[in-house]
Structure 1
């Protein structure tokens, strides 16, 4: 009887870890991929390092951002989904 409760507790622990840690991370990664693929020329964005700019060119994995001091070529993954969404809400 004692062994069964141990296995049930372990199974419940893995279920809790999955729903509170693994699944939200997968959902966040999926949303970031969708955001990256939905970028278009003219979108105002903020990078993860805090640079503000506007998308001027798009390539498969890179993006050219126009800032006040010039143009920068960056990876699409360097664009922050949360900060860019907050910028567009203003």
Structure 2
């Protein structure tokens, strides 16, 4: 007797005699899967999006930032949709606010 045959016979022996689904009604599993997807995928993304929007709203001139392109810079000015970053002495680059990936506290140096 193979392992698969033993497993199938074990499942058949434990099946309820009334012919009902051993896991309950058929709609419970899809509901459980949807709830798991919400807590494992959707909710964390929503929280990350809110945190990113809060960071972008708190941008102030003089803050040290890193863009999504990996450019380290200092915020020179903040406009409605964009931010002007000082990349080097005398070099200003305008980025979309969404391109700011991280903001360093003003009292720490970038590493």
Q: 2:54 aligned with 1:34, yes or no?
A: yes
User: In structure 1, how many angstroms separate the alpha carbons of the residues matched to 2:63 and 2:36?
Assistant: 39
Secondary structure at the residue paired with 1:5?
A: coil
RMSD: 2.3
The equivalent of 1:17 in structure 2 is 37
CA deviation after TM superposition for structure 1 residue 5, in Å? 2.8
CA deviation after TM superposition for structure 1 residue 4, in Å? 4.9
CA deviation after TM superposition for structure 1 residue 6, in Å? 2.2
CA deviation after TM superposition for structure 1 residue 50, in Å? 0.5
The equivalent of 1:74 in structure 2 is 95
User: In structure 2, how many angstroms separate the alpha carbons of the residues matched to 1:50 and 1:14?
Assistant: 36
What stretches of structure 1 of length at least 5 have no aligned partner?
Answer: none
Task: Provide the TM-score with structure 2 as the length reference.
Answer: 0.71
User: In structure 2, how many angstroms separate the alpha carbons of the residues matched to 1:18 and 1:89?
Assistant: 38
Task: Provide the TM-score with structure 1 as the length reference.
Answer: 0.86
The equivalent of 1:59 in structure 2 is 79
Misfit runs of 4+, over 6 Å? none
Q: Number of residue pairs matched?
A: 88
In terms of Rg, which structure is larger? 2
Q: Which has the higher helix share?
A: 1
